[in-house]
Chains A and B, each alone.
Chain A
Amino acid sequence: MTFTWFHRLGSPPYVYGLAQRLAPWCAGSALLLLLAGLWGGLVLAPPDYQQGDGFRIIYVHAPSAWLSLMVYTTMALAAAVGLIWRIKVAHAAAAACAPIGASFTAAALVTGALWGRPMWGTYWQWDPRLTSELILFFLYLGYMGLRASIEDTQRADRASAVLAVVGVVNVPVIHYSVTWWNSLHQAPSVMRLAKPTMATSMLVPLLIMLLAFTLFFVAMLLVRLQAEILRRERASTWIREALKR
């Protein structure tokens, strides 16, 4: 009986209502934290002694990169839950995750390239982290491509869930083999922002931005989840009542 809250998460009307109520709170707090983090990162933090003001792109880049991986893990978890317990809402959540994750991955790649131009002298380096990020982007594309090419929603859900689970097993393998590949190719040693050595005035805004981006992801997920549930449950009667509210 302590697990009733968990069972209710399998019911589309309940989750729809929950998402409707939670989304504004997440979006609002994400916005506040975003403003605070940007102010701290762009105004309060001092320029880096080596990179000048160029390092400030980290306040967008690092949270995007962190979320690109976290969203994939979330998606695979939701897909596994949907596959194992046949929970439709979990599949809907996985479907809602994919485009958000792909966007964060693209944002991380683009901001990385923009930062690389003044710092490395080139937009693109075959750096292990950049390369694995690019492969992750293709994993997202494959997932969305498979989902889009299967007409039947339930089959699309389960097939793409298998792919997501296979992908999440492979992500560490890919990451470490890419790291190994690069270390043997004697890449030019790149400048890294090692986190522990960062000054507090730079680090605190970064942590705030991480939290802000994560909340932003949750807000986006809740909104997309509502849309996904609406689309899937369009034939059911509770939708009419929910929309009247």
Chain B
Amino acid sequence: MSTPAISDLSPPLLAPGTTRARSTAAAWLALRRDLKLAFRKPAQLVQPLAFFALVTLIFPLAISPELSQLRQVAPGALWAGALLASLLALEFLFRDDAQDGTLEQYVLSGQSLTALIFAKTCAHWLLTGVPLALVTPAAALALGATLDSVPGVLAAVVLGTVTLSLLGAIGAALTLNLKRSSALLSLLTLPLALPVLIFGARAVQQAIAGGSYLAPLEFLAALAVLSVTLAPLAAAAAVRISLE
């Protein structure tokens, strides 16, 4: 199976235009490359979703099949599942590219590494965060939420997973090339991800209760903006250090 060649990145290097235009073009190519590669191995995409569904299944089995009781724990159950599923997916973020040297080529390409890492993280979010967000309302319904709650739950998970992917990218970049890194990755990422959990669970709780979930959503959006601005810089620095 031929992977899209890394030389795909070189045309923008030679193409005319400003440095910024070239970096943007390279980032687009990196994003498309990651998506293309991922769709060739659909099984890997389904794994985090299956994991999420299983975590959701645990709660009715462990607590009670009563929907009224499940409705109370639903926000926590959904966010615990989403958090764990995105942690699980993080291991795929840089691993293959680090193993076959693609990541090294990104560092050496002369393009903005921040833009390339941001593109990779975007691809990762499109491949894990968005499907997770699409599945969550179904899980919420299964835990006793009403149909009215779907927009709120969907919006909360979409916004929350943006921050989770970006924060996770820092952790994944720091633990790149380390042996037995998965426990360490969770230890590094989870404390930083707690604000997402707090506001996400609050939004879902309000959505299920039928109240206004705008305030926690705005906080989630603020966190997403903050992490879109700052996290790629830190993740790129971490990739550079890990590949030294």
Contact = CB atoms under 8 A, between A and B. Distances in A.
B241 A155 contact: yes
Given A149-B178, A166-B234, A178 B242 contact: no
A174 B193 CA distance: 9
B202 interface: yes
A167 B193 CA distance: 11
A177 B199 contact: yes
Interface in A113-135: 135
Contacts of B158: none
B219 A163 contact: no
A162 B191 contact: no
A145 B198 contact: no
Interface string B147-170: 000000000000000000000001
Interface residues of B, number: 28
Contact of A181 (B178, B198, B226): B198
Given A167-B192, A170-B192, A174-B191, A146 B199 contact: no
The size bracket of the interface on A is 20 to 34
A98 to B, nearest CB: 14
Interface stretch (A2-10, A21-29, A136-144, A227-235): A136-144
Interface in A145-183: 145-146, 149-150, 154-155, 158-159, 162-163, 165-167, 169-170, 173-174, 177-178, 180-181
Nearest to A158: B241
A177 B192 contact: no
A184 interface: yes
B35 interface: no
B238 interface: yes
Contact of A162 (B190, B192, B241): B241
Contact of B202 (A139, A162, A184): A184
A138 B194 CA distance: 12
A180 to B, nearest CB: 7
Contact of A150 (B178, B202, B237): B178
Given A149-B184, A162-B237, A180-B198, 11 more contacts: A83-B237, A138-B191, A142-B184, A149-B181, A162-B238, A163-B170, A166-B192, A166-B234, A167-B192, A170-B192, A177-B195
